[in-house]
Amino acid sequence: MTDYDALAARVAALTEGEEDNIAKMATVACELFHSDARFDWVGFYRVTAPNLLKIGPYQGGHGCLVIPFDKGVCGAAARTGETQLVDDVDAFPGHIACASSTKSEIVLPVWDRDGVLLGVLDIDSDQPSAFTKSDAAFLENLMMKTFCSAKRA
């Protein structure tokens, strides 16, 4: 189980003053992946064209490269702007199975400080119902602090 306070402090220290979103995504993916045995795949999909997500920094097995906004759990998070907590991926219409071992997942939209949608954070687990509302609340806060914070002087 993640020590979320320690993780948030590490991410803040590692990304302090960094303005490059890819560098921040890579750091967050690495820190999250190694923080919790429930997390079997952690990564970002980035908005690279209207209604299109493309793979960004990730840890774990292969992720599919392109996800349109109308496909999968990632597409639903990007389209609705709402966190998707999926206890059973087989019950989610249009779920994209990049790894057949995945049983549950959480996907959050990620915005910059101007409210521009950068992409989504996708965490997959081989355990069913691995994620809770408190995971969602922490991760939403981490995304806000990491990608929406004003540049420090």
105 binds ligand SME (CB under 6 A): yes
Q: Which stretch binds ligand SME (CB under 6 A): 12-20, 24-32, 92-100, 144-152?
A: 92-100
Nearest to ligand SME by Cβ — which residue?
Answer: 72
- Does 122 bind ligand SME (CB under 6 A)? Our answer is yes
Q: Quick one: 92 or 111, whose CB is closer to ligand SME?
A: 92
> What torsion, rounded to 10 degrees, do the Cα atoms 63, 69, 42, 6 define?
170
Query: Least CB distance from residue 89 to ligand SME, whole Å?
Result: 7
Other CB atoms within a 10 A radius of the CB of residue 123 amount to 24
Tell whether residue 108 is a contact of ligand SME (CB under 6 A): no
| Number of neighbouring beta carbons within 10 Å of residue 140 | 15
Minimum distance, C-beta of residue 16 to ligand SME, in the bound complex (Å) = 29
The DSSP code sequence of 110-141 is: EE-TTS-EEEEEEEEESSTT---HHHHHHHHH
Pairing status of strand 52-59 against strand 84-86: unpaired
**Closest distance of CB 110 from ligand SME, Å:** 14
Minimal distance, residue 109 CB to ligand SME, in Å: 13
Q: Does 52 bind ligand SME (CB under 6 A)?
A: no
**Burial grade of 134 (CB within 10 A; 0-12, 13-18, 19 or more):** exposed
Chain residues in the site for ligand SME (CB under 6 A): 41, 63-64, 67, 72-74, 95-96, 98, 102, 105, 122, 124
